[in-house]
Amino acid sequence: MASCEEASADHGYDELSDLARASNKMAAKLKDSYTSVKHLQREITGRKRGKKSKKSDCSKTSHEITEMSRFTW
């Protein structure tokens, strides 16, 4: 039995060959979908980290401005 990584033998023109071709196409689409989901999950995680660091930067800047305003002439 073939795994998702292995293509089924699809040479020939009978019903089993048609089924093998359809199975190979389905497995390829499933693999592409899975790869796309993993890529999107990594991108979302990266964006969330970016937002956290931006919030942190903003709070640091706000704190610095507050501190600087104490020394205004």
**Residues 4 and 30 sit within 8 Å (Cβ to Cβ):** yes
Instruction: Give Cα separations from 58 to 14, 44, 69 (angstroms).
Output: 66, 21, 16
pLDDT at 53: 65
Q: What is the mean pLDDT of the chain?
A: 78
Confidence of residue 29 (pLDDT cuts 50, 70, 90): very high
Residue 63 falls inside a structural domain:
yes
> Which residue is it, tokens 């190979």?
24
More confident residue, 16 or 54: 16
Residue 2 falls inside a structural domain:
no
Query: Which amino acid makes up residue 62?
Result: S
Residue 47 falls inside a structural domain:
yes
Residue 56 falls inside a structural domain:
yes
Domain count, the chain: 1
Region 47-61: mean pLDDT is 70
Residue 6 falls inside a structural domain:
no
pLDDT at position 59 over 70: no
Region 38-66: mean pLDDT is 76
Residue 49 falls inside a structural domain:
yes
Residue 37 falls inside a structural domain:
yes
pLDDT at position 2 over 60: no
Residue 50 falls inside a structural domain:
yes
**Residues 31 and 20 sit within 8 Å (Cβ to Cβ):** no
**58: containing domain:** 11-73
User: Which residues are CB-contacts of 21 (< 8 A; sequence separation ≥ 6)?
Assistant: 10
